[in-house]
């Protein structure tokens, strides 16, 4: 990644964070969903950010990259569990 790309990526992340803070989108999610997101983040931190071996241990972003490499259609609109099912079906 070039320096220009890295800076653009950082700006995009900052904009997304600001938008999320202003909209408080996470606080509007159901309690169960927020709890599950927290658990996923904690597991990821325990692994030091490395993807787990089991698909269930990976983050949605990691699963999206796997689906992308397998060229699974509709992957951008899938949630974590939909991605896991599609990856398993694709072999």
Alpha-carbon span 31 to 26, nearest angstrom? 10
| 22 in the same domain as 61 | no
**Structural domain containing residue 85:** 51-91
Q: Report pLDDT digits (tens) over 8-27.
A: 888 888 888 887 777 777 77
| 74 in the same domain as 32 | no
| pTM of the full structure | 0.47
Alpha-carbon span 44 to 78, nearest angstrom? 20
Q: Report pLDDT digits (tens) over 28-72.
A: 778 888 888 888 778 777 766 666 678 887 888 889 999 999 999
| 28 in the same domain as 2 | yes
Count the domains in the chain: 2
| 64 in the same domain as 42 | no
């Amino acid at each position: 990644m070039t320096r220009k790309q890295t800076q653009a990526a950082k700006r995009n992340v900052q904009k997304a964070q600001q938008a999320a803070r202003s909209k408080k989108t996470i606080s509007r999610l159901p309690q169960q969903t927020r709890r599950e997101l927290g658990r996923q983040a904690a597991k990821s931190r325990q692994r030091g950010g490395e993807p787990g071996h089991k698909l269930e241990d990976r983050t949605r972003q990691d699963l999206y990259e796997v689906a992308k490499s397998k060229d699974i259609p509709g992957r951008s609109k899938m949630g974590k569990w939909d991605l896991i099912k599609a990856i398993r079906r694709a072999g």
